[in-house]
């Protein structure tokens, strides 16, 4: 990766001016500067930012293990198809907000061979991984609940996969008519694990909440359900739990102990909804 390959679309989190890349640093005309970490990501979070929802190193490592199993590959493949279709010829970068390890954005960039991608995540541990996930991907630590460090209308598509959504900011950074691709779990997703291990449940009214959250700024273009029966090894089941929301409520070591009693292999259902939205305003 060279410094020149940082996208021109990034903006300064202090004064909102464009950031340009120099050796090992991004800086704005007012002199605010942000080091490019050795691992290749940039931290644009203010020093006092609250990062309580950031994935921990254990969650990031578990996500690596689980995604390497390939069980979620059908999601990545379909997301890549839908983002490429939805972005079409519209110019702009591809953004994933709450990108985690960058697996899904990497699949999109593999398909869209000339685009640059930006992975935003509030976890620097996740951004370390995402920075190395694809040569055309750059990773930026920032808070998706706040202002995204991107120019207005600079993205051809925004992706939000199992991650927090900020419709106002997504609409602002999308070019007119740009597409938002969202993946949400259904109430049945990994149901056997959720019931068997007392994990955090998905709200059965999640679809309605998504519609209510996005509808002032986005219109739904398509929505499809992906379902697969999975056979997980004990280690994969543990990784699925340890990378998800339940990991915050069950300390890693205690979960590891509890998993000693789990069978060598488990049946589980992958059940997610992928929806495509377009800006209305
Ligand atoms: C369940 S993970 C999903 C990661 C990735 N999209 C995937 O599906 O593999 C949610 C991600 O959102 C990030 N996150 C949580 N709160 C955030 C915020 N306020 N701003 C940006 N990222 C956030 C977490 O650090 C985590 O990496
Ligand atoms: Zn500045």
- 145 touches ligand 1 (CB under 6 Å): yes
Which pLDDT score, from 0 to 100, does residue 1 have?
47
Q: Which two tokens stand for residue 203?
A: 């709200």
d(CA 107, CA 99) in angstroms, rounded, equals 12
**Atom of ligand 1 minimally distant from the CA of 103:** 9
Which pLDDT score, from 0 to 100, does residue 245 have?
80
* Partners of residue 117 on adjacent β-strands: 94, 137
- 100 touches ligand 1 (CB under 6 Å): yes
Domains along the sequence of the chain with CATH: 40-228+269-279 (3.40.50.150)
- 13 touches ligand 1 (CB under 6 Å): no
Tens-level pLDDT at each residue, the chain (281 residues): 445 579 899 999 999 999 999 999 999 999 999 999 999 999 999 888 899 999 999 999 999 999 999 999 999 999 999 999 999 999 999 999 999 999 999 999 999 999 999 999 999 999 999 999 999 999 999 999 999 999 999 999 999 999 999 999 999 999 888 999 999 999 999 988 888 777 778 888 989 999 999 998 999 999 999 999 999 999 999 999 899 887 776 665 666 666 777 788 999 999 999 999 999 96
- 54 touches ligand 1 (CB under 6 Å): yes
Which pLDDT score, from 0 to 100, does residue 182 have?
98
Q: Which of 74, 163, 270 to mutate to test the pocket of ligand 1 (most atoms within 8 A of CB)?
A: 163
Which pLDDT score, from 0 to 100, does residue 255 have?
64
d(CA 85, CA 112) in angstroms, rounded, equals 10
The CA R_g of the chain, rounded to the nearest whole Å, is 19
Q: Helix/strand/coil (H, E, C) string of the chain? A: CCHHHCCCCEECCCCCCECEEECCEEECCCCCEEEECCCCEEECCCCCCCCCCCCCHHHHHHHHHHHHCCCCHHHHHHHHHHHHHHHCCCCCEEEEECCCCCHHHHHHHHHCCCCCEEEEECCHHHHHHHHCCCCCEEEEECCCCCCCCECCCCEEEEEEECCCCCHHHHHHHEEEEEEEEEEEECCCCCHHHHHHHCCCCCCCCHHHHHHHHHCCCEEEEEEEEEEEEEEEEHHHHHHHHHCCHHHHCCCHHHHHHHHCCCCCEEEEEEEEEEEEEEECC
The torsion of the CA quartet 209, 204, 191, 232, rounded to 10 degrees, works out to: -20
| b/e burial code for range 146-175 (CB count within 10 A of at least 16 → b) | ebbbbbebbbbbbbbbbbebbbebbbbbbb
């Amino acid at each position: 990766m060279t410094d020149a390959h940082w996208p021109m679309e990034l903006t300064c989190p202090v004064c909102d001016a464009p950031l340009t890349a120099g050796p090992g640093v991004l800086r704005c005309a007012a002199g605010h500067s942000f080091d490019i970490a050795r691992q290749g990501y940039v931290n644009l979070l203010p020093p006092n930012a609250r990062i309580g929802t950031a994935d921990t190193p254990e969650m990031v490592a578990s996500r690596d293990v689980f995604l390497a199993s390939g069980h979620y590959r059908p999601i990545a493949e379909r997301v890549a198809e839908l983002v490429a279709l939805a972005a079409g010829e519209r110019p702009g970068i591809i953004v994933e907000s709450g990108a985690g390890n960058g697996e899904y954005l990497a699949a999109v960039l593999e398909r869209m061979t000339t685009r640059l991608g930006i992975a935003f995540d509030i976890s620097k541990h996740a951004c370390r991984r995402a920075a190395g996930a694809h040569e055309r991907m750059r990773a930026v630590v920032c808070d998706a609940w706040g202002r995204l460090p991107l120019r207005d209308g600079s993205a051809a598509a925004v992706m939000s996969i199992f991650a927090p959504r900020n419709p106002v900011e997504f609409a602002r950074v999308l070019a007119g008519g740009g597409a938002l691709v969202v993946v949400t779990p259904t109430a049945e997703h990994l149901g056997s694990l959720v019931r068997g291990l007392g994990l955090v449940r998905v709200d059965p009214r999640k679809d309605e909440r998504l519609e209510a959250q996005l509808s002032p700024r986005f219109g739904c273009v398509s929505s499809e359900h992906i379902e697969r029966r999975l056979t997980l090894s004990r280690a994969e089941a543990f990784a699925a739990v340890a990378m998800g929301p339940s990991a915050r409520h069950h300390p890693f070591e205690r979960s590891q102990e509890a998993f000693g009693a789990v069978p060598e292999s488990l049946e589980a259902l992958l059940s997610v909804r992928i929806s495509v939205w377009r800006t209305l305003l």
